Amino acid sequence: MAVRQALGRGLQLGRALLLRFAAKPGPASGWGRPGPSVAWGRGERPSRAAGPGAQQCQLGLPLPDRYRFFRQSVAGLAARIQRQFVVRARGGGGPGGRAVFLAFGLGLGLIEEKQAESRRAASACQEIQAIFTQKNKLVPDPLDTRHWQGFRLEDYLIGQSIGKGCSAAVYEATMPTLPQHLEKAKCMGLPEKSLDVLPKWAEKGQAGASTFPFAIKMMWNISAGSSREAILSTMSQELVPASRVALAGEYGAVTHRRTKGDLKQLTPHPNIIRVFRAFTSSVPLLPGALADYPDVLPPHLHPEGLGHGCTLFLVMKNYPCTLRQYLREHTPSPRLATLMILQLLEGVDHLVQQGIAHRDLKSDNILVELNSDGCPWLVISDFGCCLADKRIGLQLPFTSWYVDRGGNGCLMAPEVSTAHPGPKAVIDYSKADTWAVGAIAYEIFGLANPFYGQGRAHLESRSYQEAQLPELPQSVPLDMRQLVKSLLQRDTSKRPSARVAANVLHLSLWGEQILALKNLKLDMMIAWLLQQSAATLLADRLVEKNSVETKLRMLFLANLECEALCQAALLLRSWRAAP
């Protein structure tokens, strides 16, 4: 942006000086002398025979021939002015005019050099991005294949409850028709395709993602009615992260096309949950239902239940725990915590790029998978409150208090919690989820979330001031502490985007050599990016595929944007230079 502004100002100044010094001498073009421009002001237009360039030179007006000036390359303009300088020097022009001519010609040469540097940087970023976008394409999950159907509840064996929220219950599940479970099911005398509950498989130490690779989310249906179309329409936000084949059942695809309307579909991302199957079915009496959620059951299962007999089921990958559960038993090191926050920012950036706002980010809605080294990989789930409307994108018209602003009021960004409805009021969600990541960072670093609970330490997003934010421990790197403060800025113009924030952490983790340079130039940045690209490609071939750092580097390079990277570098350098 700074280069564009400098270029624009340089061109404006250049045009004025060009008209002053490069015009042919004569009474018509003398500075302050009456000429054709004055005559035009009285209603007389100059002849078109001289051409638009002549008109521009003679009239000294920015319009209507400005397009011709800007169409010239800066390099050509610089060369032209330098030639004019030589002519004037030979013709004995005034020293002041010659100095201005030379200075301006050299200035335009510098602008052209900066432009060329920017073009090289942008081109290199695009090439790197193209390579890693291809490398970063998600390999189809073995669980999400066409080799099995899975569009009926009867296809699954249901295990124990994983958890429940305000709108659904989640159970572990498997399919006896999967090759790894077919023999076990036969040995246990279970039917190959039948709904069943497997309490024996769920005993501690025996159950897990290997035994139950799926998690089935059963939505609670109180107001959607019992028709399939009404259910899919009312709960359509849950289908935003659905895979391409998730609704390819006997009736699902047709019904979904008819009901989804302007709803966006989220493209795959490694830090975003994927829904493998979605279908409607009758509500069964699952383990713990009468104790955990009797009020939402249909009357034929519980006399006092308010639910309908049919609801929506979502089939996803079974993750070992949520972020909240993980943090209860683990205290990540500062570097590991930084990697975890970086994953959340990468996921949020993907949502923003798709024009989707999650609006319910919290540690209960973030799932964790551990790699072979025990390093956590975070996945954003539960899209029931998301904003994913093709018509409005991230700008929600807030015409009345009845407009849904999302869930989890504690982590609702200030621009959302303080919004007031009106005929032209709009809530901008482009940085709302990024703010929530800043609040969750406190939990990841082992502190209480300042926006939860009660008492003096409790802050409210609608009224807090930045000075009230608790300090992170000194063991947390300076860059990370400054970034959390920046993410929690009330003023959205001062808050970095998710992409810039993610780039800050990428540079902080792996770009120390480039940040240490006193005179950082774009060409140096590109050289560093090429070095990172080569190292990442090599690591991807030699290191295990589930290496968290390698996966994050590939995400960084697949989302490379020159301008966002430069903004991140400037932020980091300003924080480190501050006393």
Q: Tens of pLDDT along 452-471?
A: 976 667 899 999 999 999 99
Nearest to 504 by CA among 528, 480, 521: 480
360 is catalytic: yes
Q: φ, ψ for residue 219 (rounded to 5)? A: -75, 145
| Tokens linked to 282 | 């009758």
Query: pLDDT band for position 103 (50/70/90)?
Result: low
Winning range, highest mean pLDDT, from 38-47, 117-126, 566-575: 566-575
pLDDT higher than 80, residue 402:
yes
Among the residue ranges 86-90, 157-161, 262-266, 377-381, the one predicted with the least confidence is: 86-90
Domains located in the chain, CATH noted: 2-126 (no CATH), 153-318 (3.30.200.20), 328-577 (1.10.510.10)
Mean pLDDT of the chain: 78
Question: Coil, strand, or helix at residue 296?
Answer: helix
Q: Tens of pLDDT along 196-226?
A: 444 433 343 344 556 889 999 999 999 888 8
Among the residue ranges 54-58, 122-126, 480-484, the one predicted with the least confidence is: 54-58
Winning range, highest mean pLDDT, from 102-106, 141-145, 246-250: 246-250
Strand partners, 280: 312
Among the residue ranges 58-67, 455-464, 536-545, the one predicted with the least confidence is: 58-67
What string of DSSP letters covers 325-373? HHHHH----HHHHHHHHHHHHHHHHHHHHTT-B-----GGGEEEEE-TT
What's the confidence (pLDDT) of residue 199?
40
Strand partners, 157: 174, 196
Nearest to 170 by CA among 292, 326, 303: 292
Q: Tens of pLDDT along 327-382?
A: 999 999 999 999 999 999 999 999 999 999 999 999 999 999 998 778 899 999 99
Among the residue ranges 160-169, 416-425, 437-446, 537-546, the one predicted with the least confidence is: 537-546
CA distance 425 to 432: 17
- In angstroms, how far is CA 32 from the centroid of its own chain? 55
pLDDT higher than 80, residue 528:
yes
What's the confidence (pLDDT) of residue 245?
80
pLDDT higher than 90, residue 37:
no
Q: Which of 144, 155, 360, 433 is catalytic?
A: 360
CA distance 47 to 54: 10
pLDDT higher than 50, residue 49:
no
Over pLDDT 70: what percentage of the chain? 68
Question: Coil, strand, or helix at residue 534?
Answer: helix
Q: Tens of pLDDT along 280-336?
A: 999 999 989 999 999 999 999 999 999 999 999 999 999 999 999 999 999 999 999
CA–CA distances in Å: residue 223 to residues 227, 233, 278, 292, 527? 11, 12, 19, 20, 58
What's the confidence (pLDDT) of residue 132?
83
Query: pLDDT band for position 146 (50/70/90)?
Result: low
